[in-house]
Amino acid sequence: MTTTAPPRPASRPAAVAPFGRTAAVLSATALLATSQLYGAIPLFGAAADDWGTRPGPLTWLVTAFGLGYAAGFLLFGPLSDRLGQRRVMVAGVAATAVTTALVALAPGLAAALVLRVLQGVTIGAFPPVAMAYVGERVAPHRRLLTVTAMTTGFLSSAVIGQLTAQGMLALLGWRSFFGLGTALFAVAALALRAVLLPDVPRPGASPAAAYRAMPRLLAAPGLRMLYLAVPVVLGSFVAIYTALQLTGTDGLLGLRASALPVILAVPLATPRLARLDPVARTAGALLLAAAGTALIGLLAPGTAVLALLLMAVTAGIGVTAPGMIDLIGSRAGAHRAPAISLFTALMFVGASAGPQLAAALAGRGLAVIALALAALLAVAAGLVRAARRGLNSA
């Protein structure tokens, strides 16, 4: 990579974070954070009835949160070098307890959209800072497994968030999902404060330098292709689940639950997968997701086969996300923190666009949406493969 910037301060954390409880708390918070993205999907109908509108416009509840989330990544990732990683994560998660409570009280869609953006911004303080924390405070031989555990938390929220929202809707109404989130974010803030290592001063740490590095990272050889592929990863994943909801697919409860065993199995496979070439591993995982999605479109399968295909899609995405972090983070050098902030931001820009793509094509049926997503995933796999030359010359 050809970017240059002032070196990071010499002061470095000496202590190594305890693996078990660090991975557990970070992955649980990751699950909770992104559950707020996916959990809105089953609530479209009930919230629309409450506010006197149609379910279609409520896809913007997902998009608004995703855009705020991405903005939070870009804002707080670089700031954490100056303010301290532990301080930023704890404050952001605590603030999200407040913003989530406000979403629960939203009187209408317009207010809810504004509050969802704000909710996304506050919890956006967590993911990029947590990834940077792992890169600096977790022992090197534990990092990939810890990142994979966190990624599993983010991905399993697609299942657990939707199932929780569906259950809370049936028991106490759609607003109760956000009420539960309020309490859990407060608990998560306390857990992070108890488990994370104290911040180490970084004299001279400059958020402005990180912000200036971001455009150069986007244009860097080997990274630009990867960054172009990033939005497709989570965008396709959110889009397919949104499409299932909007097209009235039968057996949604079982379909949502079917992906969970695959998500939980990904960390167990990580040690073996880590032996593979990272570019080939990541591109191959994207092709697996593309194949599963294409078959959904071509076969118009029944519930059982659809569940199996969704498992294949989930496996592909579950392997792709930590693979992309590994590729981008390892090539960013001293710019790891802004590079990961860009990665997470672009992931959720894609997640924000996914529901709108699904809504735009919903009238044409699930098959058309699935085939469009398969094409995007195949292009993303090609971009990862094309990045190899730049990665080797960086």
Give the pLDDT of residue 373.
96
Place of tokens 């504004």: 114
Amino acid at 124: G
- Two tokens at 304? 């059982």
Q: Mean pLDDT over residues 180-206, rounded?
A: 88
Q: Mean pLDDT over residues 87-103, rounded?
A: 97
- Two tokens at 58? 């409520």
Average pLDDT for the chain? 87
Let me know: does 357 contact 192? Beta carbons within 8 Å. no
Q: Which domains does the chain have, with CATH numbers?
A: 19-197+206-393 (1.20.1250.20)
Give the pLDDT of residue 203.
61
The H-assigned helical ranges of 138-259 are 140-172, 175-195, 207-219, 224-246, 252-258
Give the pLDDT of residue 2.
37
Give the pLDDT of residue 127.
87
> H or E stretch including 341?
helix 336-361
pLDDT, tens digit, 9 for 90 and up, residues 309-347: 999 999 999 889 888 888 887 777 777 778 877 888 898
Task: Compute the CA torsion angle 114, 347, 318, 154 (nearest 10 deg).
Answer: -30
Q: Tell me 57's DSSP state.
A: G
- Two tokens at 235? 């965008």
With a CB cutoff of 8 Å and minimum separation 6, the contacts of 42 are 162, 165, 166, 169, 245, 252
Determine the Cα–Cα distance for residues 150 and 132; give it in Å rounded to an integer: 12
Let me know: does 29 contact 86? Beta carbons within 8 Å. no
pLDDT confidence bin for 205, thresholds 50/70/90: low
pLDDT, tens digit, 9 for 90 and up, residues 106-126: 999 999 999 999 999 999 999
> pTM of the entire structure?
0.80
pLDDT, tens digit, 9 for 90 and up, residues 39-58: 999 999 999 999 999 888 99
pLDDT, tens digit, 9 for 90 and up, residues 337-352: 788 778 888 988 998 8
pLDDT confidence bin for 5, thresholds 50/70/90: very low
